[in-house]
Amino acid sequence: MRKWVCIVPVLLLAGCSRTNAPGPGAQVGAEAKPAAESAASAASAPSAPSAPSPPAKVIPNGTPLHVRIDESIDTRRNRVGDRFSATLSEPIEVGGRTLVPAGTRFSGRVTTAAASGRLKGRASLGLKLDSFRLNGREYPVQTTSVDRVSAAHKKRNGLLIGGGAGLGAAIGALAGGPKGALIGAGAGAGAGTAGAAATGKRQVAIGAETPLRFTLRSPVDM
């Protein structure tokens, strides 16, 4: 009997200790809670600001393009649609930045090429740029045209025809008096008109290395 009295308290103490001891699951949960809280804090923390993107490069409408053409162009041999090349003589700068350096090659086309009539009209020559090449890439452009027009015929024709009439009148007067002068004047005027018609066709030319100024008619994205 005394033996059982001693054993019972020991068993009761062992049972209490087992009841109060945390199980393995409780220990794992306690360790997982700080990890979950750290992950939540990291997710809610503000992200670092991303690096700003570089500003867009745009050549605005109205920008002047100063070039020198690389070859001569004239109404005697060139026709509408003929191609030509030019070299940028002044850099294109926007907001203090050089977007297109001097020396960049441009391409263009002839838009007008017409000689004058023999007795009237004017010769005309028109050019436009349509692209440039930079860093291995080609950029299309739309520009105003550069136009050249010849002088009028009137003064030259007047000198030729009037001079011919005067010379004919003088020769006619020497040959046949007043009547001869009238005949000579008419003949001389006719000869002057024929000479004006034969030699009166005017041409227009733009020599190589001539400086020209075009203007952009629409912006260029780079």
Between 2.60.40, 1.10.3470, 2.40.128, 1.20.120, what CATH number should domain 58-152+203-221 receive? 2.40.128
Q: Along the 222 residues of the chain, how does pLDDT read in single tens digits? A: 455 445 545 555 555 555 454 555 445 444 545 555 555 555 555 565 666 655 578 999 999 999 999 999 999 999 999 999 999 999 999 999 999 999 999 999 999 999 876 555 789 999 999 999 999 999 999 999 999 998 775 554 444 444 444 444 444 444 554 544 444 444 444 444 444 344 456 889 999 999 999 999 999 999
Give me the residue spans of the domains in the chain.
58-152+203-221, 154-199
- The string of DSSP letters for 124-163 reads EEEEEEEEEEETTEEEE--B--EEEEPPPSHHHHHHHHHH
pLDDT at 150: 83
